[in-house]
Amino acid sequence: MKNLWLFLVRYNAIFWFILFFTISLILVVQNNNFQRASFINSSNVVVGSFYQQVNSWKSYLSLHEANEKLAAENVLLREQLQNILQADTSGDSVHIVDSIDQGRYTFLVANVANNSVHQKNNYLTLDKGAADGIEKGMGVITSNGVVGIIIQTSPHFSSVQSLLHPDTKISVTLDSSSVFGSLVWGNNIDPRFAMVRDIPNHVQVKKGEKVYTSGYSLFPAGIMVGEIVETGIKSGESFLDLKIKLTTNFSNLNHVYIVRDLQVKEKEELEANSQDNG
């Protein structure tokens, strides 16, 4: 306490100067319109810059929450689009879905808890499971393309057989025709590319042509999966293979959408009965 008193006594002139200078500034600002306006403008600039910086940091810290909200909004938009419009895979026309198809697909957003890309057999783990209504056989997509198929669930997690797995096969169609083929990764090492197989030799294809899901597998029709980068790969006398660049970036997966087909059991039962009757 004594040292504090001695400090104040020793530098009292400086403190009195600061006090009187502050009072004089206040009086000048209060009693002169020009000075008051200048002070307000200057203070607004300083305070505005401060709040801008604070908001920038808040935005950065809230990115995870913002991403969650955007993913949820994407689910709603995707369901609305699927329920209203059915995109023709030729890319030339769009028609209204009949009422019998309304609400066939629903989508649930999930986070990728684990992911392998450079293995021979690649899998993902999602943070949604049986408690969320997830079942074996459901498809998994992103906003850019196909990811894989659910193969196993626990109450709160699910395992996905990635598209980057030699046993994954998805029915696809070409943009310029109604020809169907099978999308497979095979034994590729590069996770950016896959193959479309069983395309008839007579079909004219070109580089840059888009490839979509056909709707004959677990996925809704019209989901783009890639673009053709190499043609004319012979796989037999009647068929050829196409190399495509995948639209899904498997090295940077965060949010995915699990596809629930509300009519899949009805479809499977009908097909099973047809086979039994045959």
pTM of the shown model: 0.66
What would the mean pLDDT of 197-226 be, rounded to a whole number?
Answer: 88
pLDDT at position 3:
73
Q: Hunting for tokens 């530098």 — which residue is that?
A: 11
The predicted-structure confidence for 162-183, as pLDDT tens digits, reads as follows: 999 999 999 999 988 878 899 9
CB 199 within 8 A of CB 240: yes
Looking at the predicted structure, is the pLDDT value of residue 60 above 90? no
For the chain, give the mean pLDDT: 77
Beta strands in 97-238 (DSSP E): 105-115, 123-126, 139-141, 146-153, 158-162, 170-174, 180-184, 193-200, 210-213, 224-234
Radius of gyration of the chain (CA): 31
pLDDT (0 to 100) of residue 171 = 93
Residue with more model confidence, 259 or 99: 259
More confident residue, 99 or 11: 11
**What average pLDDT score do residues 9-37 get?**
71
Q: How does 202-237 read in b/e, with b if 16+ C-beta sit within 10 Å?
A: eeebeeebbbbbbbebbbbbbbbbbebeebeeeeee
| Residue-level pLDDT at 163 | 95
17 or 161, which is more confident? Answer: 161
Average pLDDT over residues 214-233: 88
pLDDT at 218 over 70: yes
Q: What percent of the chain has pLDDT over 90?
A: 31
Domains, the chain, ranges and CATH? Answer: 2-61 (no CATH), 67-264 (2.40.10.340)
44 vs 46: CA distance, rounded Å: 5
Mean pLDDT along residues 91-108: 54
Work out whether strand 105-115 and strand 224-234 pair parallel, antiparallel, or are unpaired.
unpaired
> Does the pLDDT at position 88 exceed 50?
no
Query: Which among 263, 259, 266, 267 is positioned nearest to 106, based on CA atoms?
Result: 259
**pLDDT tier, 21 (very low <50, low <70, confident <90, very high otherwise):** confident
Q: Comparing 232 with 184, which gets the higher pLDDT? A: 184
Mean pLDDT, to the nearest integer, of 120-144? 92
Identity of the residue numbered 50: F
Three-class SS of 44-69 = HHHHHHHHHHHHHHHHHHCHHHHHHH
Q: For residue 49, what pLDDT is reported?
A: 57
pLDDT score, position 131: 94
Task: Tell me the backbone φ, ψ of residue 85, rounded to 5 degrees.
Answer: -120, 145
- For position 106, what pLDDT does the model report? 86
Q: Which of 142, 160, 150, 108 is nearest to 248 (CA)?
A: 142
